Structure 1
Amino acid sequence: MRAILASWLTAQTGYVFTKKYLILISKYLEGCMVDRALKAARVMLKNSKIEDEVFSAELLNKGGNNRLYRIEGASNQYLLKSYFVCGTSHLERIKREFSFLEYANEYAPEFVPSPIAFDLKSGFGLMDFIEGSQKFNLKENPQFVSLATKFIKKLNPQRGRGAMLKLPDAAEAEFSFQGHFGLIHNRLRSLAEIEVSDTLDITARNIANKLAQNWPMVIQKACAKIEKYCLSPNANLPARFLCASPSDFGFHNAINPIIGNLRFIDFEYAGKDDPAKLICDFFEQVACPIPKKYEQIFISQIGKHFDDEDFISLRVEILRPLYVVKWICIILNVFRESGRKRTSFAHDINLASLHEVKALQLLKAQEKVEAIL
């Protein structure tokens, strides 16, 4: 936020402000935001007819794209989420998250926080606060992946098919191979927005160019498999395979609580989706990598749950290389202006910190590039 503030002040006044002055302004603005969060929490609790005296708000700075506040009440703790605003997209993200939380509390309540209220006008959402750790030793604790599998199964019971089909489509949901191709192609095109100002930007641009050059080959290989197995690139996934998906699914969006069961959080992209996409995202996200040894059992368990392990496995086989490309694009988002704005909104990042984030993301991107090209 400080870097954006510095740029804005310089653009408005023509002066370059010192670091000390910027820190003072940042602290003042942070105090204003905390006061606003506290007021919003009180209003939402009152409107929800929850009698609890709220007395403090703490900015947690743990959201990937949003600001998170721990709200202390006399009886309970709450999590207040301030959604990143970009046009009107935050409205859909808020509605999507709370509709999914309501659905999940019906079918898998032990795995998710309870929603309380949201306010589209202010861009806030309020839910239960879960005290716990976000550190997972997945290599030595297979029970976590087993619990993730159980969560997906509980989200998709046979008795809940009607309710699931009423969920909105997940963000970037696609149900045909051609749809998946188009989705990832658009993400590749967005990397053209990378502006070069230092050597890290040059490296990111080179990776983007390399992906663009090899993208036709990735599509060609996928189409060869589609033809080999007599599938249609344009046919939509049969309705019986549609699933309720958390979308941005992984242990980066999970909490191991001090008391109780593993909980999953952050459902602003959730909804109806292709289970093969869910599986690809689960294993290709880089925030909390899933060890390779769990892949086949996870794919098998999800496939069996939908009564066609071979079909789900085949879709994963075809889509997996495409989703490696997708995740490289996501990793490089910080090199785009829109990606930097999201990161700066959620975290107080100065120019030095931004340089470190870019360097780390480049390492992750290069590792994935080597795996696919």
Structure 2
Amino acid sequence: MTHISPSQHGAQADYDPWQLAEHLLGRPPLALQPVGESGWNNHLFKVKTEEGLLALKRYPVNDLRGRMAREAAALWFLAAHPPSPSPRLLSMDPTANGMLLTWVEGEPISQSSADIATIDAMLACMAQLHQLRHSSTATNLVAASDAVFNVEGARRQIRQRMRRLDDARQQHPRLDDFLRRLQSLADELLPRAQEQWSCEDPLPSALRTLSFSDFGFHNAIRQPDGRIVFVDLEYFGWDDPVKLASDTLWHPAMALRGELRRHFCEHAVKLYEESGDHNIRKRFATMHPLYGLIWCLIVLNPFIASAQQAPALVGQANAQRLEAQLAMAHRYADTLKTGCHLTYHPAIPPEQES
């Protein structure tokens, strides 16, 4: 059973990591160690206790997306329908922006270490989540972050992400040139997609699936026994299976290509087709380029943060990073009209292709 620990510090507690661990444990930990680099959205710590290791996850104070609440709901839901593909939530305090989870022992999965077995584990997780859509409690779950259920939903995301880059494009003429190119592509692809979808109504609930949203082996740990555990459910919820599959293919942290890409693409589409989604291949062909266009904009997110800094504070290293992200966005744009079976991936510069 999950323990919810209300803070005694008022409406919004301000704990340092050690205090947060002590608050959620109910006693001081034996040791606390940061895990990896600080992410955009959270901080992770390894907590040593008398009983063993736990994971402490700390969320940002101004969490406008409600990542903690979304992840907690997902973890509770999966724990109630074993076997869960994810860690177990042990304790949390929403006012302190933190939770304790079971520690997952194992190794992160890299692009170089991923194999067909890794893809099959992902497909098995997708199949399990799709089956769980029939659960009576699944209706309590919200839509996944940035879920898309029709062409208008994609159009809205493209427009919003374009708008977020308004300040940055004023400071970076090459970014402005690229966004003009991308707008031309959007003006071509969106009407075509609307014609192919041929219906303005959202995707029927019966055809939707439960999705990790930010799904892939970049958010997975291979345990010593070979079992793969999927972590980071901050964007979990209902979505179109096409969005889940397409995002996985476009995601730069995955960079699926070659046989792994072919295997995932074919089996993912088949999974949902066999469950009654007989139009999924047509919908995939319609929407996959639009999701690629959205990814063109996602990889440009560093420009948004840079635009909030004074030009004199943007160092050479950051400038080089922005150039690299812009080059990546150009490669994404170059591949928008291709199908599923790319032998390369736009996230990887040609000189780094093996």
Q: TM-score, normalised by structure 2?
A: 0.80
Which of these residues, 122, 133, 138, is aligned with residue 107 of structure 2? 133
Unpaired segments of 5 or more residues in structure 2? Answer: 1-14, 338-354
Question: Is the 8 Å Cα contact of residues 248 and 269 (structure 1) preserved in structure 2?
Answer: yes
Q: Which residue does 2:252 correspond to in 1?
A: 286
1:334 aligns with 2:309: no
- Matched to 1:168, the amino acid is V
Q: Distance between the aligned counterparts of 1:108 and 1:354, measured in 2?
A: 44
User: What is the CA-CA distance between 1:216 and the residue it aligns to?
Assistant: 1.0
Q: Which moved more, 1:114-123 or 1:268-277?
A: 114-123
Q: Which residue does 1:184 correspond to in 2?
A: 158
Q: Which residue does 1:170 correspond to in 2?
A: 144
Q: Distance between the aligned counterparts of 2:148 and 2:264, measured in 1?
A: 22
Q: Distance between the aligned counterparts of 1:69 and 1:133, measured in 2?
A: 16
* Superposition map of 1:210-289 within 5 A: 210-226=181-197, 231-232=198-199, 234-289=200-255
Q: Distance between the aligned counterparts of 2:165 and 2:96, measured in 1?
A: 31
Q: TM-score, normalised by structure 1?
A: 0.76
- Going from structure 1 to structure 2, the CA distance change for 1:339 and 1:60 (only over 3 Å counts) comes to farther
1:360 aligns with 2:340: no
Q: Deviations over 1:193-244 (max 9, x none)?
A: 31555xxx43333222211232111112212322xxxx31x21211211211
Question: Is the 8 Å Cα contact of residues 283 and 289 (structure 1) preserved in structure 2?
Answer: yes
The alignment partner of 2:95 has SS state of: coil
User: What is the CA-CA distance between 1:352 and the residue it aligns to?
Assistant: 4.8
- Going from structure 1 to structure 2, the CA distance change for 1:354 and 1:125 (only over 3 Å counts) comes to farther
Question: Is the 8 Å Cα contact of residues 111 and 255 (structure 2) preserved in structure 1?
Answer: no
Unpaired segments of 5 or more residues in structure 1? Answer: 1-34, 342-349
Aligned length: 318
User: What is the CA-CA distance between 1:42 and the residue it aligns to?
Assistant: 1.5
Question: Is the 8 Å Cα contact of residues 194 and 335 (structure 1) preserved in structure 2?
Answer: yes
Q: Distance between the aligned counterparts of 2:33 and 2:305, measured in 1?
A: 30
Q: Distance between the aligned counterparts of 2:93 and 2:307, measured in 1?
A: 24
The alignment partner of 1:272 has SS state of: strand
Q: Distance between the aligned counterparts of 1:186 and 1:330, measured in 2?
A: 11
Q: Deviations over 1:302-323 (max 9, x none)?
A: 3235323x31222111111110
- Going from structure 1 to structure 2, the CA distance change for 1:236 and 1:148 (only over 3 Å counts) comes to same
1:318 aligns with 2:292: no
Q: Which residue does 1:105 correspond to in 2?
A: 79
Q: Distance between the aligned counterparts of 1:251 and 1:218, measured in 2?
A: 30
User: What is the CA-CA distance between 1:97 and the residue it aligns to?
Assistant: 0.7
- Going from structure 1 to structure 2, the CA distance change for 1:102 and 1:158 (only over 3 Å counts) comes to closer
1:296 aligns with 2:268: no
Q: Distance between the aligned counterparts of 1:335 and 1:159, measured in 2?
A: 38
Q: Deviations over 1:155-174 (max 9, x none)?
A: 22268432222211111223
Question: Is the 8 Å Cα contact of residues 55 and 103 (structure 2) preserved in structure 1?
Answer: yes
- Going from structure 1 to structure 2, the CA distance change for 1:192 and 1:43 (only over 3 Å counts) comes to same
Question: Is the 8 Å Cα contact of residues 108 and 154 (structure 1) preserved in structure 2?
Answer: no
- Going from structure 1 to structure 2, the CA distance change for 1:59 and 1:138 (only over 3 Å counts) comes to closer
Q: Distance between the aligned counterparts of 1:44 and 1:334, measured in 2?
A: 34
Which structure is richer in relative contact order (CA contacts within 8 A, separation 6 or more)?
1
Question: Is the 8 Å Cα contact of residues 169 and 175 (structure 2) preserved in structure 1?
Answer: no
Q: Deviations over 1:27-52 (max 9, x none)?
A: xxxxxxxx811111121122xxxx78
Percent of aligned pairs with the same amino acid: 23
Question: Is the 8 Å Cα contact of residues 107 and 155 (structure 1) preserved in structure 2?
Answer: no
The alignment partner of 1:372 has SS state of: coil
Q: Distance between the aligned counterparts of 2:334 and 2:105, measured in 1?
A: 38
User: What is the CA-CA distance between 1:110 and the residue it aligns to?
Assistant: 4.5
Q: Distance between the aligned counterparts of 1:263 and 1:194, measured in 2?
A: 38
